[in-house]
């Protein structure tokens, strides 16, 4: 069995509350979880904020797995610091394989161009990484950007939507990615959208593919954990609240599970 804690969109540097919330989150963990942080660790891509992240997550050791988000590409461009320049790699931990995917691109250096980008070469690298996963391991794909359409959030995204700009759009190859993952992967963990969501492909099949958007851990003051055994979720995902400050209600966090059909 393995427990995965999914954090995302910490935006360190945006507010003094963000590092305190991350510190609270790390203190809440039992010490056995695999912790996946799906990008936007920093708000402005500043190296000093990444240092804060490393300091606060040091107790996690090699149980920490991160991918870059679009905000991490601004400022000092932390993309290669977070994934060594690779677009895809395979991380093996006890009972779990994590395929890390860098869904950011050079256009993210411009702060308002926030959308992600995949290409056929990246899909091929993901396919090859999945082929190397030992049989029977819980398999997770971690990336920052969303793979299915999600509603615009905030004023400027609604403006972008009206203008037909791609800023808040899902990955153009999101459905193609899900087709690569179907039957070979158990969880897709992502962030970027700050409101949590959840989806499932092949809900009644032998190997459902579940997709979770963490939302912004520091804005919500909460994160999900997943208890899995050989890829099967043993319980419903559990929300852990890490601060006592006023937060959105649990009803706001707990978006209903939606079934997806892949054409
Ligand atoms: Fe974000
Ligand atoms: Fe983002």
CA of residue 194 to ligand 1 center, whole Å? 6
Distance 91 CA to ligand 2 centre (A): 22
Instruction: Find the CATH number of the domain harbouring 145.
Output: 3.60.21.10
Instruction: Compute, in angstroms, the gap from residue 230 CA to the centroid of ligand 2.
Output: 30
pLDDT of residue 155: 86
> Distance from the CA of 122 to the center of ligand 2, in angstroms?
19
Q: What is the pLDDT along the chain (263 residues), one digit of tens a residue?
A: 999 999 999 999 999 999 999 999 999 998 899 999 999 999 999 999 999 999 999 999 999 999 999 999 999 999 999 998 899 999 999 999 999 999 999 999 998 899 999 999 999 999 999 999 999 999 999 999 999 999 888 888 888 888 888 888 999 999 999 999 999 999 999 999 999 999 999 999 999 999 999 999 999 999 999 999 999 999 999 999 997 666 666 656 667 889 999 97
Nearest to 14 by CA among 41, 38, 32: 41
The tens digit of pLDDT for each residue in 236-255 reads: 999 999 976 666 666 566 67
CA atoms within 13 A on the CB side of 219: 19
* φ/ψ of residue 199, rounded to 5: -140, 165
Q: Which of 179, 224, 221 is nearest to 202 (CA)?
A: 179
Q: How many angstroms does the Cα of residue 193 sit away from the middle of ligand 1?
A: 6
For ligand 2, the distance from its centroid to the CA atom of residue 7, given in whole angstroms, is 13
Q: 69-93 burial, b for 16+ CB within 10 Å, e for fewer?
A: bbbbbbbbbbbebbbeeebbebbeb
> Any idea which ligand is nearest the CA of 195?
1
Domain that holds residue 222: 2-260
The pTM assigned to this predicted structure is 0.96
Q: Write the DSSP string, 150-214.
A: ----SHHHHHHHHHT-STTPPPTTHHHHHHHHTTT-SEEEE-SSSS-EEEEESTTSSS-EEEEE-
User: Can you give the pLDDT at residue 243?
Assistant: 79
Count of domains forming the chain: 1
Helix (H) or strand (E) holding 21, with range, is: helix 17-28
170 alpha carbon – ligand 2 mean position (Å) = 11
How remote is the CA of residue 50 from the centroid of ligand 1, in Å?
15
CA 14 to ligand 1 center in whole angstroms: 11
Nearest-ligand number for the alpha carbon of 9: 1
């Amino acid at each position: 069995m393995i427990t995965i804690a999914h954090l995302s969109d910490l935006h360190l540097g945006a507010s003094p509350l963000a590092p305190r919330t991350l510190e609270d989150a790390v203190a809440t963990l039992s010490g056995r979880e695999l912790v996946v942080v799906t990008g936007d660790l920093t708000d402005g891509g500043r190296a000093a904020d990444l240092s804060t992240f490393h300091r606060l997550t040091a107790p996690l050791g090699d149980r920490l797995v991160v991918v870059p988000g679009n905000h991490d590409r601004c400022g000092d461009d932390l993309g290669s610091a977070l994934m060594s320049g690779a677009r895809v790699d395979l991380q093996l931990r006890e009972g779990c394989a994590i395929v890390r995917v860098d869904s950011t691109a050079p256009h993210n250096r411009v702060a308002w161009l926030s959308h992600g980008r995949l290409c056929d070469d990246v899909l091929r690298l993901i396919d090859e990484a999945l082929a190397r996963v030992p049989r029977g391991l819980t398999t997770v794909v971690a990336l920052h950007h969303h793979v299915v359409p999600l509603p615009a959030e905030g004023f400027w995204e609604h403006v972008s939507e009206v203008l037909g700009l791609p800023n808040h759009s899902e990955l153009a190859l999101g459905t193609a990615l899900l087709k690569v993952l179907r039957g070979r992967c158990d969880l897709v963990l992502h962030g970027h959208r700050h409101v949590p969501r959840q989806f499932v492909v092949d809900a009644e099949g032998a190997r459902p593919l579940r997709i979770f958007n963490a939302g912004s851990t520091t804005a919500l003051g909460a994160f999900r954990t997943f208890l899995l055994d050989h890829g099967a979720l043993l319980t419903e995902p559990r929300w852990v609240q890490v601060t006592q400050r006023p937060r959105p209600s649990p009803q706001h966090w707990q978006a209903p599970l939606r079934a997806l059909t892949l054409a």
